[in-house]
Structure 1
Amino acid sequence: MKTRALLLATLVLAGCATGQSTPGTQVAAERLATSIVPGRTTKAELLASFGKTKSIVFDSGFEAWLYQSPAGSGRFAEFVILIDPAGVVVKTRQRPPSAP
């Protein structure tokens, strides 16, 4: 239940993210979806494959990372990753780009 609350807070915060992304955060959506396996992919693997990105670290040790995927017309889809204190991906969520 605590994980669910953390994911909800992460998604709410990610929904507030707007504007230009910082270097290293843009990755093709297909690559993210096929490369990240909850329960198996580690934080170190994410860094090696996709580089640093926007992140939030919670007091509980969980982290939420946000990658963006170009969707055309200056829009981006968002891919949120929840990482447990041991450094393993727990859950992922994709959010399509907002309407122009």
Structure 2
Amino acid sequence: MSARALFPALALLAALAGCATSPVPPGTQVPAERLAASVVPGTTTRAELLATLGATKTVVFDSGYEAWLYQSPAGNGRFTEFVILLNPQGVVAKTRQGPTSTPAP
């Protein structure tokens, strides 16, 4: 499966993540400035993400690609979702920032 075909799946993952009612895992909420400074497509590795941002929600596809989901607090109980796509070699391939939303009750 190509990276281009994975992006619709990532969008669905981001949308469904808002439906979760379980507590946010440690490392999942990261300030937007830290995300922007820490993630460089084509350069940043899986190990660097773990060391800098911590573990988070992860989906592994049969193709070997992984999607990692972080949230940035946006005030008033709202957050912005940040999805990172890692290639099978463990290097960031793409990122996408979603719209600001409110957590599910």
TM-score (norm 2): 0.87
Q: CA deviation at 1:99?
A: 6.7
Whether 1:97 aligns to 2:100 is: yes
Partner Cα distance (1:30, 1:96) in 2: 16
Deviation at 1:30, TM superposition (A): 1.3
CA contact (8 A) 1:21 1:68 kept: no
Identify the residue that residue 40 of structure 1 maps to in structure 2. 43
Question: Residues 37-78 of structure 1, C-alpha deviation per residue, up to 9 Å, x if partnerless?
Answer: 100000000000011000100001000000000111111100
1:34 CA drift (Å): 2.0
Residue 28 of structure 2 corresponds to residue 29 of structure 1: no
- Does the residue aligned with 1:71 lie in a helix, a strand or coil? strand
Identity %: 66
Asked whether 1:82 is paired with 2:81, we answer no
Question: One-letter code of the match for 2:57?
Answer: K
Tell me whether 24-33 or 1-10 shows the greater mean CA deviation. 1-10
Residue 13 of structure 2 corresponds to residue 13 of structure 1: yes
Provide the aligned C-alpha RMSD in A.
1.7
Distance in 2 separating the partners of 1:97 and 1:22:
19
Give aligned pairs, total.
100
For residues 99 and 26 of structure 1, the distance between their equivalents in structure 2, rounded to whole angstroms, comes to 14
Query: Counterpart of 1:58 in structure 2: which amino acid?
Result: F
Segments of 5+ residues of structure 2 without an aligned counterpart are none
Unaligned residue ranges in structure 1 (runs of 5+): none
How high is the TM-score relative to the length of structure 1?
0.91
